[in-house]
């Protein structure tokens, strides 16, 4: 069965160009978010504080894209009378750039956690958390591919990947929550609990992006 995909209305060339331009901007924003996620991963698991220091600069770029894309979507909606399907695309863009912006925020949070946890010895749960981070990064990459191709099946398939991250979150959380006889301060455990929550939310936002791609194509939520 042939995959269902979306394409802007060719009978409205100015509108189609505007949507294609927006798509490119969203994907550029997505690339910056991917970069932020990779840097936060390096900061937390490779103890690379130089990577952590890059995050605020990238976050500002992501925020600028977010504001510009929202503004451009609003302008097209109000000035170019988009068709129903094109309107779905524009409204989904406005929602999914919010998801991207939140993933970028969580990446910055992870970098801050990496800086705070740096003085402590690596925790035994770090390898499991690193696997969780790699799964979430793969989900983000998959969501952006689905967006680039307007691929409904690829977008909906992210829900199954999200289950893997949720299961990992539950396992690691239980390990941290049930730890006994912790020597010294408990700050590293608290920080790691915050880190896995960030990763779990990042995966949720990647899933949202996939669902929004499916909505663009089918009109079904």
- pLDDT for 117-159, tens place per residue? 999 999 999 999 999 999 999 999 999 999 999 999 999 999 9
Q: Determine how many CB atoms are found less than 10 A away from the CB of residue 130.
A: 15
| pLDDT number for residue 75 | 93
Confidence of residue 8 (pLDDT cuts 50, 70, 90): low
User: Quick one: how far is CA 119 from the chain centroid?
Assistant: 28
- CA dihedral for 133, 159, 58, 188, sign (positive or negative): negative
| The model's pTM | 0.92
- Which residue from 146, 129, 157 is spatially nearest to 217, judged by alpha carbons? 146
Q: Are 19 and 83 in contact (CB under 8 A)?
A: no
């Amino acid at each position: 069965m042939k995959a269902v995909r979306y394409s802007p209305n060719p009978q409205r060339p100015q509108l189609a160009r505007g949507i294609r331009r927006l798509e490119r901007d969203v994907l550029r924003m997505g690339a910056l978010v991917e970069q932020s996620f990779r840097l936060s991963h390096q900061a937390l698991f490779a103890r690379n504080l130089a990577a952590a220091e890059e995050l605020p600069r990238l976050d500002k770029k992501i925020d600028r894209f977010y504001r510009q894309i929202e503004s451009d979507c609003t302008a097209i909606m109000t000035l170019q009378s988009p068709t129903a399907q094109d309107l779905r695309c524009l409204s989904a863009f406005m929602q999914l750039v919010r998801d991207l912006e939140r993933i970028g925020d969580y990446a910055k949070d992870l970098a801050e956690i990496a800086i705070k946890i740096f003085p402590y010895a690596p925790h035994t749960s770090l390898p499991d958390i690193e696997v969780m981070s790699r799964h979430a990064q793969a989900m983000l990459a998959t969501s952006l591919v689905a967006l680039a191709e307007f691929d409904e099946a690829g977008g909906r398939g992210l829900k199954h990947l999200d289950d893997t991250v949720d299961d990992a979150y539950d396992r690691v959380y239980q390990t941290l929550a049930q730890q006994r006889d912790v020597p010294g301060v408990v700050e590293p455990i608290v920080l790691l609990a915050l880190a896995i929550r960030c990763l779990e939310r990042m995966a949720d936002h990647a899933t949202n992006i996939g669902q929004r791609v499916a909505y663009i194509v089918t009109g079904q939520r």
